[in-house]
Amino acid sequence: MAKSTASFVCQNCGASYTKWAGRCDACGEWNTIAEEAARETAPKGLGGKPGRKIAFVDLKTEGVPPPRRTTGIGELDRVCGGGLVAGSAILVGGDPGIGKSTLMLQASGVLAGKASVAYITGEEAIDQVRLRADRLGLSKANVQLAAATNVRDIIASLETGTPPDVVVIDSIQTMFVDSIESAPGTVTQVRTCAHELIRVAKRRGFTLFLVGHVTKEGTLAGPRVLEHMVDTVLYFEGDRGHQFRILRAVKNRFGPTDEIGVFEMTDVGLAEVLNPSALFLAERRGNVSGSCVFAGLEGTRPVLVEIQALVAPSALGTPRRAVVGWDMARLNMVIAVLEARCGVAFTGHDLYLNVAGGLRIQEPAADLAVAAALVSALSGDPVPADAVVFGEIGLSGEVRAVAQRDLRLKEAAKLGFKQAWAPRSAKKADASGHNKPDDTKTGLTIKSMGHVQDVVSHFTDPAAPKATPPQGGKAGPSKMRGP
Ligand code: TYD
Ligand code: MG
């Protein structure tokens, strides 16, 4: 007889263990391992029973590929790679309360005008969804609404009659398969439910949206355990303190990843943000030290954001370093390069770095902007208010070229910036590295940065006295030291 053993499964990544541990070795999360009834025992093999022959077909498509269905929400279509593909499964992950249900309901409402949409909620009662739809101005939309959690019933309904074009499951963690003992939300349940639903979606050709909560506690399986099963993974990010929400594609079998959609949470639901740069820079105050505008790139779209740094004398033995919206390891690297290659000393200073507006930057191209913000904060000199900065910094202090330079410059010019601190563009630079003919067409003055020192020397040396020059010393503040 097969032995039923208990197994311990990480609810974040799905790794399984024979005994409990405080930390999952696979994903590094703490306190996410929970006991689950083991679903299968030792593999049995095929047992000598013959199978059926599978049919092979040609790779080339017959006729044109089926068109993508656009949702009507441009930002959502963009992250999906230009619209929804029939028979595909899209996972929408995010923290609770970030706006996943709102987005799905809005998408359903807009789609309902041109396709049949079924919205199955396991979290809210029908009336709650209706109330929300009313608030979003969608109460007249032709969406088929159901409150259900049993996957057997849901599949039975989707198998009979004409299937809907789009099905939304909100959320996958509330669904359950009645043949499995573990509670809804466990890795086994979440995986099995998703697997069954995806199979029906592929067979019947509807687009399936699965909503999944990202959870830090070990009580609910996170969307990470589903990433390999679905065709597209979208994460809805943002700080609940900010009104901006970013929908980011992290996996897409039918389009590019790293594409983002920007939304603003308003009292009547999510509004698309067509010009994110203008929004992220809206509250910027020019000529403040420690502030610097980074010309970034999110997917195919240039996005300008403000990077803010604060450097303050520290009373602590080990100065504090805090970062919001960027990578701490990357920040430490930039600090180390500034200290070792340019002689800028941050010792004895607390250091804070913030990406304004709640955006999370992942590009190394932000290195130079971070360096400029840090040195500006330390020296007290502002980065020119009409300048954008971008470039990757290498360990020897060299500034490396980054992708899509022209796109970044064009966006900066569009928003009224006058100069750019940018890496030398390798193939277009003349001998001096300045005045590349292609840069003039954007109207920006390009200050080519070959080394971080080029940035540092724009600021006065904080070590030199500024307000009260020493007796008899007429010289102005010295420039920052060289390497
Ligand atoms: P919700 O979509 O329920 O989040 P999730 O499904 O990801 O858990 O979003 C809930 C939040 O959105 C809640 O804090 C209120 C806010 N909200 C608005 O600000 N405006 C609106 O029109 C709606 C519907 C929600
Ligand atoms: Mg919800």
**Residue range 369-378, pLDDT digits in tens:** 999 999 999 9
Chain centroid, CA 436 distance in Å:
34
- Residue identifier of the C-alpha nearest atom 15 of ligand 1: 97
Which atom of ligand 1 approaches the CA of 100 most closely? 7
pLDDT of res. 292: 93
Over residues 347-355, mean pLDDT: 92
Could you tell me which residues come within 8 angstroms of residue 454 by beta carbon, excluding any fewer than 6 positions away?
A: 399, 447, 448
Tens digits of residue pLDDT in 246-303? 898 889 998 877 788 889 999 999 999 888 888 778 778 878 899 999 999 887 788 8
pLDDT at 65 over 70: no
Is the shortest distance between the CB of 101 and ligand 1 below 6 Å?
A: yes
Does residue 99 line the site of ligand 1, with CB under 6 A? yes
Ligand 1 pocket, 137 CB below 6 A? Answer: no
The pLDDT tens digits for 88-104 are: 999 999 888 899 999 99
Q: Is the pLDDT of residue 221 over 70?
A: yes
Residue with tokens 């954008």: 388
Between 145 and 424, the more confident residue is 145
Confidence tier at 141 by pLDDT (50, 70, 90) = confident
Q: Is 39 in the pocket of ligand 1 (CB under 6 A)?
A: no
At 365 the pLDDT is: 94
Res 468 pLDDT > 80: no
How buried is 481 (Cβ within 10 angstroms: 0-12 exposed, 13-18 middle, 19+ buried)? middle
Per-residue model confidence (pLDDT) at position 29: 85
Question: Among the ranges 179-183, 260-264, 322-326, which has the highest mean pLDDT value?
Answer: 322-326
Provide the mean pLDDT of the chain.
Answer: 85
Residue nearest to atom 18 of ligand 1 (CA): 267
pLDDT value of position 63:
63
Residues whose CB is less than 8 angstroms from the CB of residue 173 and which lie 6 or more positions away in sequence, other chains included: 184, 185, 190, 212, 213, 220, 221
Contact 187, 37 (CB under 8 A): no
Ligand 1 atom at shortest distance from the alpha carbon of 170: 6
Q: What is the pLDDT of residue 300?
A: 77
Given a cut of 80, is residue 212 above it in pLDDT? yes
173 lines ligand 1 (CB under 6 A): no
Among all bound ligands, the one having the nearest atom to the CA of 265 is 1
Query: Does residue 425 line the site of ligand 1, with CB under 6 A?
Result: no
**pLDDT(335) > 50:** yes
Query: What pTM does this model have?
Result: 0.77
